[in-house]
Chains A and B, each alone.
Chain A
Amino acid sequence: MTEAEASAHHHRFAHQFQDLEQQQETDTVGIWVFLVTEVMFFGGLFAGYTIYRSVYFSGFAAGSHILDVKLGAINTMVLLASSLTMALSVRAAQTGNRRSLIPLLAVTMVLGGVFLFIKGVEYDQKFVEHVVPALDWGPQGETLAKLAPGGLGHAELYFLFYFLMTLIHALHLIIGMCLVLWLILRARRNEFQSHYYAPVEVVGLYWHFVDIVWIYLFPLLYLIGGRY
């Protein structure tokens, strides 16, 4: 049986397509279109952030300086590492290497969990400092002294953006981890071969997108106006 015949008889092959390759190309375009809608979704938040940051710059800078840069930078690297293992997972699926596909996917999921854990430590610190808008707002002492010069209300607005953007990003990451778990379960049933791995590629693209959002969130939230 030739490659083309094998692809035409694959049980995942949908009859409206010419072959599995065209089917996979269609799947990939589909996820790219979805990612564009995600760009627009986050774009609204980024646009709002840009406007308020330019209007209330000193308040935003003061709020930003409360955040822990070290934890933010470590988290960026954790997420970049998870993108590497995700890219290697897709490669393992492409080459039909199930033995390394499952561990690589598992590491990707664990790194996503590490990111969320560090994020949780940071959120906890915000409750200790009482800089959580609506739920626990009322900075005192040293924190208050840092925030007051930029305008307390403006700093509160900054933290509102901080929590909204990072929480929505974390939600995307949780969805990504569920999808990776689903891939692991399917890979265990040996459902991916070198000529059928579209689900791995599609989830991979989504995972990298979530990484790109964080690539922008890190400098925009943690590094406003420099930290010198």
Chain B
Amino acid sequence: MSMPIVAKKTYILVFAGLICLTILTTGVAFIDLGPFNTVAALIIAFLKMLLVLLFFMGLKYSSALMRTVLIAGFFWLALLINLTLSDYRSRSWTPTPESWSATSPATHP
């Protein structure tokens, strides 16, 4: 079968880990770390996702094909977010030419 039978203990340990990480992420939010609050929250969320993917979803035990499908998905998501953000982030780098201003109706007959 596509997935070996995993010991119940493994699932329960993974669940305990997930609960600990949930408590940790909530606790960290009440400590002032400046911009690292967001970084910490995202790292913990990523770790939780890895636990669910590898054990609950059995990616640790499944074939390379399944992992390839998933990595392709995340690669596309990274493209979506990075390309969109690079547009918004770089808009202020150069001044907008005055001729682009919408307040000059004379140029639009």
Chain A contact residues, CB within 8 Å of chain B:
21, 24-25, 28-29, 32-33, 35-36, 39-40, 43-44, 46-47, 50-51, 54-55, 69, 73, 76-77, 80-81, 83-84, 86-88, 90-91, 94-95, 194-195, 201, 204-205, 208-209, 211-212, 215-216, 218-220, 222-228
Contact = CB atoms under 8 A, between A and B. Distances in A.
Contact of B80 (A24, A47, A215, A228): A47
A208 B31 CA distance: 30
Contacts, number: 141
Contact of B11 (A44, A69, A88, A226): A88
30 contacts: A25-B2, A25-B63, A29-B65, A29-B66, A33-B69, A36-B70, A39-B74, A40-B76, A40-B77, A43-B77, A46-B81, A47-B85, A50-B81, A51-B85, A69-B29, A77-B22, A84-B11, A87-B55, A87-B56, A90-B3, A208-B53, A208-B56, A212-B49, A212-B53, A215-B48, A218-B22, A218-B45, A219-B29, A222-B29, A224-B38
A46 B5 CA distance: 35
A51 B3 contact: no
B22 A73 contact: yes
A222 B28 CA distance: 13
Contacts of B33: 226
A43 to B, nearest CB: 4
Contacts of A54: 85, 88
- How big is chain B's contact interface, by range? 35 or more
Nearest to B71: A36
B30 A94 contact: no
B105 interface: no
